Chains A and B, each alone.
Chain A
Amino acid sequence: MSKIPLQFRHNGRDVAIFVDGGTNLLVALRELIGDMTPKFGCGQGGCGTCSVLIDGELHLSCLTLAETVAGRSIETLDGMKQGPNLHPLQRAFADHFAAQCGYCTPGMLMAAKALLDRNPSPSRDEVIEAISGNICRCTGYEPIINAILAAASGRVSA
C-alpha cells in the first residue's frame, strides 16, 4: 500500500510524516511522531484517554483518521507545559491529588483545557459535562472536578 504524505502542526511545530491509508491519529502521534502522551485505552471512543485538541476542539484521536488533520493544528498534553513551568491545570491536578494511576490524566487534562479555553469560569456542572467523555478508575472524579475548578479560579500554587 502506498504511503500518504501528511503535514500538520503538532504543539506549535510543523511536522511531516508518511502514513498508511486508514491510520488513526493516535497511532500517528504515538508511533510516527513519538508523542506518547495521548494514551491508548479502549481504541473505540469509549474512555477518552486519547483526547487531543484539533484546531482547539476536543477530539478522540483513536477515532480520527490521520489524513483528516492535514494542515490543521494538533495540541496534546506534551505541549501543555511552558518550558519548565507546568500549566495551571497540571499544577492544580497535582495539588488536588487528581491523578492516581495516571492513565486517564492526559485525556482529562486535554478535556479540561478545551473547556477552559472557551469558558474560563465554568460552573461545576459545566466541568462535569466537559469531562463526561473521560473515564477514571481510581479517583472517583471528585478531585479532578475540584482541580479544574481551582485552575479556573486561579487558586493554584506557584
Chain B
Amino acid sequence: MTRHRGRGMASINYPIGMNLGGDPSQALVHSNPSGKFTVALSSIDLGQGMKSVTRQICAETLGVPVEDVYVDTADSDTGPHCMGSFASRGTHRVGNAVMAAAREARGVMMEAAAEELEVNAADLETDGRGNIHVKGAPHRSISTKDVAIAAQFKQGKTISGRGIFLVPLSNVDPETGEMSPATCYAHACLVAEVEVDDETGDVAMVRMDSAYELGRALNPRLVEQQLVGGAWMGVSHALYETPEPYYPDPVHGPRDFVEYLMPGPGDICPHDIAVLERPAPDGPFGAKGPGEMCANPVLPAVANAIFNAVGVRIDDLPITPEKVLRAIKAQGGARPQARR
C-alpha cells in the first residue's frame, strides 16, 4: 500500500445573479420617530449574513450609524418582493435595492433637516454619527432623531424610500444563441493537495490554497466565514455527498441523514485564503458576492489533484474510494503524474 500525494488546480468565472425575468429584488426603508431606520425586505438570511450586510449598506447610504438601522426580513407578508437567496445574488441584487431605497429616504431626511435648519438641503451633510449639519459649519447641526420627530409630528413627511434592482432582460439571439446571462462576474482559483491510498482508494485532503476575487468585501469577517465553510462544502460534494451513489440505479442510496455521508470535524485540512477586491461597477459599494462560488473551484481542483496523485481521471461525482480503486485497477496500478 502506498499513499500518493497529488496537487490540482482550478480557476472559475462565476456569475452573480441570473438573467431570468431580470432577477429583481425590492427594498423599502423608513424612519421611525426615534430616528432609527427600518429596512423591509423579504430576502432570506440563511446564515450567510444578508441581514448584516444590508444593514451596513443602508447605514452607509443614509449616513447614519449602523446601530440605527434595523433589518426586518424573511417575511413576504411584510416585505416587498425578492427573487430569493440563490445564485450568489443577495449582496449584489438586494444590496443595490437597499441602496436605492436608502438614497431616496436620505433625500427626504435632508429636506426635512433643511427645513428645520432653514438652509438649502444641498448645503447639508451627515456625520455618520447620527447628526446632520451645514457643510463647513458643524455647529449648525440637528440630530437625525430630531429630524425624524419634526418630519413625523410637525412637517407631516414620511422619511422613506423605495428601491428596486432589475437587470434588463437579455433575450437569446435566435441566430447565434448569444445572450448576457449576468452583468457581474466573480472569480476564483484554488489549489488542492490530496493524498490517495492506492490500496483502499481513500482520498484525504491535505491542504487548500485559494484566491477569491469578489468585488469589495463589505464585511470581511462574513466573507471569510463564507469562504472557509463554502470551500468545505465543495470538498463534501467532491468526495462524499450523494443521494444516489450508483445513479441512475437507485441502489445503496442513503435512506436518511445517518447514511448520507458528510465530512466530520476530523476530515478538515488547512485552507489558506487570499481575498482580492476589485470593485464591481454595478455592485453596491463595489460588492459582488462570495456565495456559491466558495464551493465551485474545489470540485475540479480535487479531481485534478487525484489525477496528479494516481493518474486516474474521475469525472463522476462524488469521487468515492470505490471509483478511485476501480479506476486504479483498470489501468493496472497507480501512475503518479509529474508534480508541478
Contact = CB atoms under 8 A, between A and B. Distances in A.
B269 to A, nearest CB: 9
A99 B257 contact: no
Given A46-B257, A47-B257, A143-B225, A138 B266 contact: no
Interface in B287-339: none
Contact of B46 (A45, A46, A101, A141): A101
Interface in B213-244: 221-222, 224-225, 228-233
A12 interface: no
The listed residue with most A CB atoms (<10 A of its CB), out of B47, B222, B233, B256, is: B47
B275 interface: no
A19 interface: no
Main secondary structure of the interface of B (DSSP, over half): helix
Interface residues of A, number: 28
B48 interface: yes
Contacts of A139: 225, 228-229, 232
Nearest to B267: A141
A151 B265 CA distance: 18
Interface in A103-153: 127-129, 131-132, 134-145
Nearest to A47: B257
B136 interface: no
Contacts of A102: 47
Contact of A97 (B46, B221, B262, B268): B221
Given A97-B221, A140-B268, A44 B258 contact: yes
A135 B47 contact: no
A142 to B, nearest CB: 6
B250 interface: no
Contact of B224 (A41, A97, A131, A134): A97
Interface residues of B, number: 22
A102 B48 CA distance: 11
A44 B224 CA distance: 33
The listed residue with most A CB atoms (<10 A of its CB), out of B228, B230, B233, B271, is: B228
A68 interface: no
B48 A100 contact: yes
Contacts of B264: 132, 135, 141
Contacts of B271: 140, 142
22 contacts: A41-B257, A44-B257, A44-B258, A46-B258, A97-B221, A97-B222, A97-B225, A99-B47, A100-B225, A128-B265, A128-B266, A132-B266, A137-B233, A138-B229, A139-B229, A140-B229, A140-B230, A140-B232, A140-B268, A141-B264, A142-B271, A143-B225
Interface of B: 46-48, 221-222, 224-225, 228-233, 256-258, 262, 264-266, 268, 271
Given A42-B258, A140-B268, 13 more contacts: A97-B222, A100-B229, A132-B265, A132-B266, A135-B262, A138-B47, A139-B228, A140-B228, A140-B229, A140-B231, A140-B233, A140-B271, A143-B229
